[in-house]
Structure 1
Amino acid sequence: MSSALETLGIPCWHSFHLLTTHFGDNEMWQDAIDRKFFNKGEPFGREQFDQLLHCFGAVSSDTPAIAFADDLIAAYPEAKVVLVERDIDKWYESYMHAIIGNMFNPFATLVYHLDRAYIHPIGKVQKSVVAGWAGITSRRDAELKARDKYRQHYAMVRELTPPERLLEFKLEEGWDPLCKFLGKEVPKSKFPRLNEKGWFDEKASLLLTEGLRKGLVKVVPWAVAMAGMLLAWFKYFG
């Protein structure tokens, strides 16, 4: 969906920006999460969201932004909302693989603790928003709660959004209803349909590999130094 909006000339926020061009925004997102879900201050309003999203014209509903859908609808009463309808079982399979599978993967957890400068703040945002918003702190939690949270979220968006501002949209409908709703010309190109699973696998692999490399750069010298000290100790006292 974000690719479609970009094609229409609407810069769209996506969580992948937090891994790349807007890595520095993780700190502010963490503040927003802490305020809303963990009682660490007043929740964000339009002023804070303007600062966080100032260079975007749309927001994709992935984490952490999805947890602030109600706040964003209230903060931007002039905004239009596109609610993308998906088969819940296909969504669940994708969510469990892409988000939960990586979040609670032992290798990802190792990298999360090794790379405190890069992977840790990214992982903390994702872990804390899923815990605060959906009550998910383990894979088992996700298995029990994810589908219900999906249904609750869609019901909330429908309840909070005035009908004239809401488009319930299926990706297979293509450009026509979306462009009519947004007041945009229909592009000549085909409606973008990315392989979400493949795309996320590629990005997650690159992310974890880079995080592991950075973590090892810090850990290996320490480990070598410790090994040297132990060797010297054994030579002296052995």
Structure 2
Amino acid sequence: MGQKPSVPRPGTKFQVIGAGLPRTGTASFSSALEILCDGPVFHCGTQATLGPTLQIKQWMEILRCWLAGSESDREIMLRVLKRQLDGYAAVTDSPGAQFVPELMELYPDAKVICTIRDPVAWEKSMEQVRNATVPWYLHLVLLPLPGLMYFIPYLHLLAAQWEKLYGEAIPTRHTYDRHIAWLKEVVPEDRLVFFEVTEGWPALCEALGREIPKDRPFPHINDADAVDEISKMHIRRGLTRWVVILAAGTATVAWVLHR
């Protein structure tokens, strides 16, 4: 989790809907769920940036259908959402956290767990994410990378969903507060758990009715470091691919001119 995409395992029972926003410890939470649920976890941020191209394209289709809002679009959205999560034990991070009502419909037995943190610290952390994804050159750099060529349009769809759901596309602490209030409206009280990753195994195991793993420390993954490292890695990959493309183009032009 965090810097390695999960691979679906056919036959895995879906058990947990991760309702926490990005930068609330979702990478650590995902790794813990993999242990407790004994199955792969779909961490949306990781899968969108490191997973198969099909996954980010399917999220784009799901988001477009959600934004369109018609009954036929909703049917398509539910069908694609089910296909996207087939073989996973849980989903965490956004946009999964914005599809809680739909996921509860698809998985009526799944527990809804929202990772939380201090709203002020969350707002500052989200600003760091936004700064890493808004450089004007990013779309051009990512263009030659399969999958990542869709990343900026995908972010635009995410922003549109957040604006429709929370009233603002740029995350602030009010976004955080509105998300918590929204969850309390759409999730039955006996099905919703709020969890802070600093609580570790005891609180999470109690929520899921599992025993604390022996000799397995609770995973702690720094989301900020993971985002920075992944961002830098993709920029390096994109620039390297452009060097190859430009070199090949230059060689081709030189060959044509000297024929």
Runs of 4+ in 1 over 6 A off after TM superposition: none
1:20 equivalent in structure 2: 50
1:3 equivalent in structure 2: 31
Deviation for aligned residue 1:116: 6.0
2:157 equivalent in structure 1: 128
Pick the structure with greater CA Rg. 1
Contact 2:132/2:228, CA 8 A, preserved across alignment: no
How far, CA to CA, are the matches of 2:124 and 2:83 in structure 1? 34
Contact 1:63/1:126, CA 8 A, preserved across alignment: no
Q: CA RMSD in A?
A: 2.7
- Aligned runs of 1:1-238 on 2, under 5 Å? 1-8=29-36, 9-15=38-44, 16-38=46-68, 42-43=73-74, 44=76, 46-60=78-92, 62-98=93-129, 100-112=130-142, 114-115=143-144, 117-134=146-163, 142=170, 145-188=171-214, 189-222=216-249
2:11 equivalent in structure 1: none
How far, CA to CA, are the matches of 1:10 and 1:148 in structure 2? 34
2:208 is aligned with what amino acid? Answer: L
Cα distance change on mapping 1:141 and 1:167 into 2, 3 Å:
closer
Cα deviation, 1:187-213, whole Å, max 9, x if unaligned, reads 132222211111211111112211222
1:52 is aligned with what amino acid? Answer: Q
Deviation for aligned residue 1:31: 0.8
Deviation for aligned residue 1:87: 0.5
User: Normalising to structure 1: TM-score of the pair?
Assistant: 0.80
User: Normalising to structure 2: TM-score of the pair?
Assistant: 0.74
Cα distance change on mapping 1:17 and 1:223 into 2, 3 Å:
same
How far, CA to CA, are the matches of 1:46 and 1:131 in structure 2? 19
1:89 is aligned with what amino acid? Answer: V
1:175 is aligned with what amino acid? Answer: W
Deviation for aligned residue 1:38: 4.3
How far, CA to CA, are the matches of 2:204 and 2:116 in structure 1? 13
1:235 equivalent in structure 2: none
2:9 equivalent in structure 1: none
Between 204-213 and 34-43, the greater mean CA deviation after superposition: 34-43
How far, CA to CA, are the matches of 2:234 and 2:34 in structure 1? 23
- Structure 2, unaligned runs of 5 or more: 1-28
Q: Flag the structure with higher helix content.
A: 1
- Structure 1, unaligned runs of 5 or more: 233-238
Cα distance change on mapping 1:116 and 1:197 into 2, 3 Å:
closer
How far, CA to CA, are the matches of 1:121 and 1:91 in structure 2? 26
Deviation for aligned residue 1:223: 5.3
